[in-house]
Amino acid sequence: MTTLQTGGATVRLPQIHDPDLLIFVRHGQTEWNREGRMQGHLDIPLNGTGREQAASNGVRLRDFMKREGFDPTAFDFVASPLGRTRNTMELLRDGMGLGVDGYRLEERLLELTFGEWEGFRLEDLADKEQELLLQRRADKWRFVPPGGESYEMLADRVGDWLKSVLQPTVVVAHGGVFRVLRGWLEGLESANVPKLDVPQDKVFVWRNGQFSAI
């Protein structure tokens, strides 16, 4: 298991693996994304915008692979097992002109769980959970919501998955997953990882030691 011992200070994540080609897509928008609610492991479906984003990302990825001369059948397609990521993967593959069922599921790519806070917006918790929200603001990397996970804990399981990537891969997962994935691949400071922006209408390509967005 990949374990990052951080003590109490911010640390720079080591590059534990550098795959030749890794393509990441975040699931499309849900109503809870739009409302700013914490989803975590709750299975919230894509909304209309999210379905359009997923289909458009499929066309974008199809065109990219064609330009680069990549054979999509040589890629391992992997998704988080939640419904919003499976739906995104199927719309993505359809947009690429591929069969919608040609992918596998990976439990280690599940989103960070917010435990008892799932379904709430941060402003909903402002009065009842003021002390915990202050702790979260002070150290979002290590903060564990009641019954949930920290980014540090998420990084542990995503890091284990990353080390298993041995062939060109397309992964559909979540915002938190991409943040810690970038942390491992780019060797980022742990305090900066939770702040990374993860748009839902982009395809991210890792090759030659860096990410680019298409």
Dist CA 140 CA 165 (whole Å): 28
**Of 186, 168, 203, which is closest to residue 26 (Cα–Cα)?**
203
Residue for token pair 């979002």: 140
Q: Which of 90, 106, 111, 118 is catalytic?
A: 111
Radius of gyration of the chain (CA): 17
27 has catalytic annotation = yes
Given strand 204-207, what is the order of strands in its sheet? Answer: 104-105, 76-79, 169-173, 22-26, 204-207, 210-213
Structure tokens at 61: 């990825």
Give the distance, in angstroms, between the CA of residue 176 and the centroid of all CA atoms in the same chain: 5
Choosing from 27, 90, 106, 129, the catalytic residue is 27
72: left (phi over 0), alpha (psi -120 to 50) or beta: alpha
Concerning whether 152 is annotated as a catalytic residue, the answer is no
Q: Which residues are catalytic?
A: 27, 111
